[in-house]
Amino acid sequence: MAVPLFDAWPMHEPLAEELLAAVERVLRSGRFILGPEVEAFEAALSKTLGCAHAVGVSSGSDALLACLMALDMGPGAEVVVPAYSFFATVGCVLRVGATPRFVDIDPTTLNAEADALLAAVTPQTRAVIAVPLFGRPIEGLERVAERVPLIEDNAQAMGAAPLRGLAACYSFFPTKNLGALGDGGAVVTQDAAFAERLRRTRAHGSGRKYHHDEPGGNFRLDALQAALLSVKLPHLPAHTAARRQLAERYIKALPPGLTPQTPHASHVYHQFVVRSPRRDALRAALGAAGIGTEVYYPLPLHRQGFVEARKGRQAPCPEADALSTEALALPCYPGLTEAAQREVIEAASRACAALEKDARLPV
Ligand SMILES: Cc1ncc(COP(=O)(O)O)c(C=O)c1O
């Protein structure tokens, strides 16, 4: 049986009628950008996440960019970021002309932890972006938030931890724990003034039609995605429980050669990632057995060509370098059946046994 890395249909099939009704409602309303559907979704999201304000935006990337723009970040400012994440975490820093300061990850949690983030703060630091990678929450971020404006890049970690920073950014990219049927994102915050500023930033810096206080951008969430997300949001707890159950089974049954990210009770398992020193051979063997996998990420942020040329002299990040050669994500999504998961586990066990035997052969 072939098992893809991700399949949205098993999650959407039971909701199909409601999703289609939401599409029809928007179609008939004629309101396609912002408006009541976005407002209703923002209200539901802020309640779910325990925050006073939610601002719907066009993507997780734009959520981060809007936050940095709303903080008036620019040249001369330093922003502390983990060395290991999706590019958007550092892309937004470069977009506003600020300088990223990279922090290495912990080799077992795979996160740049609170103490490491704090240790990288300098007098030039204007913000810290923390990333609970693959959905594993970071402890102690309150201590970071006390010192410096903290933006939590929670694109992969919806529901993993309460807000500790000034704001948290979410992505509704279709594979995310709360995925739209297209692009979308949101920023949540307890700060009314910051929320108001974000609402202007997402609409070309305009609070009043055709009057602009700042450049801003077109970072608006559309009504269709908001209506679809409103259908999916109430199912998030069940979808998270399904991810956790899959992760628990993997942790129990995978061969010892595959080291998972250390568990955490609030982990939301956006991805289930293992480390293997023979990652590429393992991936090839799983691919041959019809099992979808992905490498998140083959090149850490501080190694991206565009970044390397601009980052100046910085401390090395050897743990991020090592993880980029060892990390492998296995299928882990709501609707992945126990039988399909067993296929993944059996294929991984066979591949590990073959690789071990191979390593014992004389060269
Ligand atoms: C950690 C992280 N930050 C930011 C983003 C950007 O989100 P989007 O794809 O919605 O722009 C992603 C999405 O892949 C991500 O994983």
Please give the distance, rounded to the nearest whole angstrom, from the Cα atom of residue 91 to the centre of ligand 1: 10
Which of 131, 171, 297 has the most ligand 1 atoms within 8 A of CB, as the residue to mutate? 171
Distant-in-sequence, close-in-space partners of 43: CB < 8 Å, separation ≥ 6: 54
Does residue 72 contact residue 194 with C-beta atoms inside 8 Å?
Answer: no
User: Before 269, cis peptide (omega within 30)?
Assistant: no
Handedness of CA 30, 230, 167, 36 (dihedral sign): positive
Closest CA to 270 of 293, 247, 295, 297: 247
Please give the distance, rounded to the nearest whole angstrom, from the Cα atom of residue 156 to the centre of ligand 1: 7
Q: Assign 3-class secondary structure to 306-332.
A: HHHCCCCCCCCCHHHHHHHHHEEEECC
Atom in ligand 1 nearest the alpha carbon of residue 64: 4
Q: Pocket around ligand 1: residues whose beta carbon is below 6 Å from it?
A: 59-61, 85-86, 88-89, 131, 153, 155-156, 171, 173, 183, 185
Atom in ligand 1 nearest the alpha carbon of residue 173: 10
Please give the distance, rounded to the nearest whole angstrom, from the Cα atom of residue 360 to the centre of ligand 1: 41
Query: Structural domain boundaries of the chain?
Result: 9-233, 235-360
Q: How far apart are CA 154 and CA 5, in angstroms?
A: 21
Please give the distance, rounded to the nearest whole angstrom, from the Cα atom of residue 318 to the centre of ligand 1: 23
Distance of CA 3 to the CA centre of its chain: 23
Instruction: For 97-153, list the strands marked E by DSSP.
Output: 99-103, 125-130, 150-153
Closest CA to 102 of 264, 319, 273, 349: 319
Neighbours of 167 (CB within 10 A): 27
Atom in ligand 1 nearest the alpha carbon of residue 62: 11
Q: What per-residue confidence (pLDDT) applies to 362? A: 62
Each of the 363 residues of the chain gets a pLDDT tens digit; together they read 899 999 999 999 999 999 999 999 999 999 999 999 999 999 999 999 999 999 999 999 999 999 999 999 999 999 999 999 999 999 999 999 999 999 999 999 999 999 999 999 999 999 999 999 999 999 999 999 999 999 999 999 999 999 999 999 999 999 999 999 999 999 999 999 999 999 999 999 998 889 999 999 999 999 999 999 999 999 999 999 999 999 999 999 999 989 999 999 999 999 999 999 999 999 999 999 999 999 999 999 999 987 877 777 788 999 999 999 999 999 999 999 999 999 999 999 999 999 888 877 665
Does residue 233 contact residue 40 with C-beta atoms inside 8 Å?
Answer: no
Q: How far apart are CA 314 and CA 21, in angstroms?
A: 53
Atom in ligand 1 nearest the alpha carbon of residue 184: 10
Closest CA to 65 of 218, 189, 208, 211: 218
Atom in ligand 1 nearest the alpha carbon of residue 133: 1
Please give the distance, rounded to the nearest whole angstrom, from the Cα atom of residue 362 to the centre of ligand 1: 45
Q: pTM for the complete prediction?
A: 0.97
Matching residue, tokens 């995605």? 225
Please give the distance, rounded to the nearest whole angstrom, from the Cα atom of residue 89 to the centre of ligand 1: 7
Distant-in-sequence, close-in-space partners of 123: CB < 8 Å, separation ≥ 6: none
Cα distances (angstroms) measured from residue 306 to each of 25, 84, 98: 44, 15, 14
Fold classification of 9-233 (topology level) = Aspartate Aminotransferase; domain 2 (3.40.640)
Q: How far apart are CA 279 and CA 359, in angstroms?
A: 14
Which of 136, 156, 183 has the most ligand 1 atoms within 8 A of CB, as the residue to mutate? 156
Please give the distance, rounded to the nearest whole angstrom, from the Cα atom of residue 111 to the centre of ligand 1: 16
**What DSSP designation does 362 have?**
-
Q: How far apart are CA 247 and CA 11, in angstroms?
A: 17
Please give the distance, rounded to the nearest whole angstrom, from the Cα atom of residue 53 to the centre of ligand 1: 20
**What DSSP designation does 173 have?**
-
Please give the distance, rounded to the nearest whole angstrom, from the Cα atom of residue 198 to the centre of ligand 1: 18
Q: Is 295 helix (H, G, I), strand (E, B) or coil?
A: coil
Matching residue, tokens 């950014």? 169
Q: What per-residue confidence (pLDDT) applies to 258? A: 95
Q: What per-residue confidence (pLDDT) applies to 305? A: 84
Domain 9-233 shares a fold with domain 235-360: no
Which of 57, 58, 61 has the most ligand 1 atoms within 8 A of CB, as the residue to mutate? 61
Q: How far apart are CA 83 and CA 100, in angstroms?
A: 10
Matching residue, tokens 């994102």? 185
Matching residue, tokens 């820093």? 93
Amino acid at 237: P
**CATH class entry, domain 235-360:** alpha beta
